[in-house]
């Protein structure tokens, strides 16, 4: 809900969260750079690529191919940056949640950390689902442009909110209870996810948004738990 997001934005004053963001940003940029360089090497970009065309003669694709690949790689990286950032924030989820809980909920005590394998699986699954869902959604985005923003926010908001709330809740309850809480708080989780999704196309801000989403999911969890216990 809006209150959870506002509290999450307030948590950005904690320097520990900025440390997490810097790690996620550096890992994101390193992975994208490695992918661009590795794929370019595999394709032979910048090498001696020529084509003998009828009536035209020999066309050298060396320099032309390099610049075309560079432009395509830049566009692809811009598209993938927020998704890869979300992947790494998912892997660093425990650091984000622990920082928020220490600052806002000091009486809770230490939670059970989410196993790395589970974090990795959830982060990779979210990344894959978001990429596939948005590729499938291109048909709607192109054929029905007026509905594109609503479809984009609903689709990505649901996916992001579902994974973040379940992973955060899993630190303090069983997987079954975490899913039950997420279903009960479906609207709030989707709104948090939609707020993250709304910033995916904003440079630099899209590196920060996944961390804000995790912090907001933490507030949603404790608000819902306190309401259920009242």
Burial class (CB in 10 A: 0-12, 13-18, 19+), 22: exposed
Query: Could you give the 3-state DSSP secondary structure of residue 90?
Result: helix
- In tens, the pLDDT along 152-197 reads 888 888 988 888 898 899 888 888 898 899 899 999 999 999 998 8
Q: What is the pLDDT of residue 191?
A: 93
**Adjacent-strand bridge partners of 53:** 57
Q: CA-CA-CA-CA torsion for 51, 53, 58, 63, nearest 10 degrees?
A: -50
- pTM above 0.75? yes
pLDDT at 139: 81
Task: Provide the pLDDT for residue 1.
Answer: 62
C-alpha 160/C-alpha 153 separation (Å) is 10
């Amino acid at each position: 809900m809006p209150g959870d997001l506002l509290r999450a934005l307030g948590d950005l004053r904690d320097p520990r969260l900025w440390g997490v963001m810097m790690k996620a940003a550096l890992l994101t940029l390193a992975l994208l750079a490695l992918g661009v360089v590795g794929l370019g090497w595999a394709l032979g970009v910048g090498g001696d690529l020529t084509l003998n065309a009828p009536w035209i003669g020999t066309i050298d694709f060396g320099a032309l191919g390099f610049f075309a690949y560079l432009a395509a790689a830049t566009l692809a990286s811009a598209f993938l940056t927020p998704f890869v950032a979300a992947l790494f924030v998912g892997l660093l989820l425990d650091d984000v949640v622990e920082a928020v809980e220490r600052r806002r909920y000091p009486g809770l005590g230490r939670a059970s950390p989410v196993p790395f394998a589970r974090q990795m699986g959830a982060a990779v699954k979210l990344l894959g689902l978001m990429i596939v869902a948005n590729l499938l959604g291109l048909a709607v985005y192109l054929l029905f442009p007026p509905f594109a923003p609503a479809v984009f926010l609903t689709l990505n908001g649901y996916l992001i909110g579902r994974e973040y709330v379940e992973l955060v809740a899993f630190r303090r309850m069983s997987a079954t209870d975490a899913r039950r809480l997420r279903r009960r708080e479906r609207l709030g989780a989707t709104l948090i996810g939609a707020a993250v999704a709304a910033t995916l196309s904003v440079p630099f801000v899209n590196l920060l948004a996944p961390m804000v989403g995790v912090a907001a999911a933490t507030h949603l969890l404790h608000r819902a738990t306190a309401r259920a216990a009242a």
